[in-house]
Structure 1
Amino acid sequence: MQTTTEQARPARRERTQAILEVRGKTRISPRLLRLTLGGEGYDALNRNEHPDAYVKLLLADPASGLRPPYELEELRESSPELLPARRTYTVRRWDDEKRQIELDVVLHGDGEGEKDGVASRWADEAQPGDVVAMFGAGGGYTPLAETRRHLLIGDHAALPAIAASLEVMPAEAVGEVLIHLDHEEDRLELAHPDGVELRWLIGSREELVDAVAALDLSDHEGLQVFCHVERGTTKRLRRVLVKDAGIPRAQISISAYWALGRIEDQFQAEKREPIGKIDD
């Protein structure tokens, strides 16, 4: 009889990979590219109604010769260096009738190599007919019907979730949206209820923190907060919202979407370490 240490570990259960085809792409701002992906694989996605629904793209190095779907468990055992990179993106829009989704990808660098992101390079080079594997969709934030005041705080990476959230709010919704961008020309025209003030903070992330700190957040009743930005900025905003303003944690959807100077693999791994913790 095998001892516990001798027993084989149970095989990792792999989620279903949704394989979608590139149907089109549009540059909607100098640094934001919208991809339309669809096909039979649409049915394999865990469709949900949250405006912040996200998928994880599986992007293999083109030099590997691998094509989706990927035998991930086999690659982990035999060639871990060939495992596809995983990159997380919010679904900007679902189209059940056409069985397709739209993803907005922030473009980095100038196409000259390592300073470009894996997903950024893939999106910029993608052509109609190319296929991509993904897992999803996750997500958990939805503007509540009983909300008296909405506060949405984000940056370039959070734009799709914020835009989708504004679109599902009732016409009588009230609140504020504060969005940080590095460049003025990347502003978008976002549809939003008349009672929701939309403010763009261009340049320093310090301006976003200061703008949130300047809000009167003394009345917590009926307040719902969405706050998803760069990790260091998210930590500072959490202090403003939770410690300084005293907003109950249950009323806030908050996490970092990315971290300055980190690729997603490092960023995700650090979530399990003190540096990656948002709540302290």
Structure 2
Amino acid sequence: MHGVVTTTEQLTPGMVRIVLGGGDLDRLVMPEATDAYLNAAFRPAGASYDEVFDPQTVRESHPQDPQPARRRYTVRAWDPVACLLTVDFVVHGDSGVAGPWATAARPGDVFVFTGPSGAYRPRPETDWHLLLGDESALPAIAASLESLPPEARAVVRVVCDGPDHEVPLPDRPGIDVGWLHRSGGPEDADLLADAVRGLDFLPGRPFGFVHGEADEIRAVRHHLLHDRGLTRADLSCSPYWRRTMTDEEWRRVKRDFVAAMEAEESQGS
């Protein structure tokens, strides 16, 4: 599938919002998930295939061409009436593929993707919701909070680079949002886990949405399972990236990392 950039907005120094329309978005089927994601395909410079392409067809019919770079991005919002798709991109200067594309994107640019897919949506029967992550998890956290009924309770902790990197989140009684600001030192790796260890849990049993940097997610997951008495059925956990690796390096080892994380918890249980 593909959409066409209609507008762009610099939300924070490290996040760009792209709104897509047109293309074949009128055929888009959005899952009932607040962590719905697209598997974007970025055509490299010099490729001989058109800017609107099918990634599978390119793989089969253009084996000698540079293949598109694949990246996953969470859907921030979908307007099924206007057929407008909003995606927020975390950007880090000139590094990576998707960030520079989003920074340079202009109306009329084409965005190719497969999906969307997704698995998480806040459960109405949950006593309260625990939403944890960093900038990469913000689109899903924001969408999840917006889906909650007025009486729902949620605790949110988000790691970011500073006050100017915060984005508006629902502000009402029952939702406790805390921002954790990096200092640039090695202690940043422990910000999220330390904050969760210091939380006074609300009465009842939470469901945890824990997504973001790989080692931070592993530490938080271990704490929730071993120290807070939660089970795997009480958690949605996904490591989106790893601070010691490029996107491509992380894509190559993510499956093994997740398998090792699961095995570690099985041995410790």
Q: Does TM, normalized by the shorter one, top 0.5?
A: yes
- What's 1:170 paired with? 149
- What's 2:193 paired with? 209
Alignment of structure 1 residues 175-186 onto 2, 5 Å: 175-186=154-165
Aligned partner (choices 76, 85, 92) of residue 101 of structure 1: 85
Alignment of structure 1 residues 11-90 onto 2, 5 Å: 18-66=1-49, 67-70=51-54, 72-75=56-59, 78-79=62-63, 82-90=66-74
Residue 120 to residue 181, structure 1, CA distance change in 2 (3 Å): same
1:216 deviation in Å? Answer: 3.6
Instruction: Tell me how large the CA RMSD over aligned residues is.
Output: 2.0
Alignment of structure 1 residues 75-154 onto 2, 5 Å: 75=59, 78-79=62-63, 82-109=66-93, 111=94, 116-154=95-133
- What's 2:255 paired with? 272
CA contact (8 A) 2:213 2:241 kept: yes
Report the secondary structure of 1:266's partner residue. helix
* Structure having the higher Rg: 1
Task: Please tell me whether residue 227 in structure 1 is matched to residue 210 in structure 2.
Answer: yes
Partner letter of residue 27 of structure 1? Answer: Q
Number of residue-to-residue matches in the alignment:
257
CA contact (8 A) 2:5 2:20 kept: yes
Partner letter of residue 72 of structure 1? Answer: Q
Residue 121 to residue 65, structure 1, CA distance change in 2 (3 Å): farther
Report the secondary structure of 1:104's partner residue. strand
Residue 133 to residue 194, structure 1, CA distance change in 2 (3 Å): same
Q: Distance in 1 between matches of 2:257 and 2:158?
A: 27
CA contact (8 A) 2:55 2:68 kept: no
1:183 deviation in Å? Answer: 2.6
Report the secondary structure of 2:199's partner residue. coil
CA contact (8 A) 1:38 1:101 kept: yes
Residues 86-119 of structure 1, C-alpha deviations (whole Å, 9 max, x = no match): 111110000111101100001112x4xxxx1200
CA contact (8 A) 1:177 1:197 kept: yes
Report the secondary structure of 1:250's partner residue. helix
- What's 1:10 paired with? none
- Consecutive unaligned residues of structure 2, counting only runs of 5 or more, are 183-187, 265-269
Q: Distance in 2 between matches of 1:144 and 1:252?
A: 11
Residue 218 to residue 101, structure 1, CA distance change in 2 (3 Å): closer
Alignment of structure 1 residues 193-208 onto 2, 5 Å: 193-203=172-182, 204-208=188-192
Q: Distance in 2 between matches of 1:91 and 1:74?
A: 25
- Consecutive unaligned residues of structure 1, counting only runs of 5 or more, are 1-17
1:179 deviation in Å? Answer: 0.3
1:74 deviation in Å? Answer: 4.8
Residue 61 to residue 88, structure 1, CA distance change in 2 (3 Å): same
Task: Please tell me whether residue 252 in structure 1 is matched to residue 235 in structure 2.
Answer: yes
Q: Distance in 1 between matches of 2:227 and 2:170?
A: 31
Partner letter of residue 159 of structure 2? Answer: H
Partner letter of residue 84 of structure 1? Answer: P
Residue 51 to residue 71, structure 1, CA distance change in 2 (3 Å): closer
CA contact (8 A) 1:174 1:193 kept: no
Q: Distance in 2 between matches of 1:248 and 1:70?
A: 40
- What's 1:5 paired with? none
- What's 1:12 paired with? none
- What's 2:267 paired with? none
Identical columns (%): 34
Q: Distance in 1 between matches of 2:80 and 2:219?
A: 39
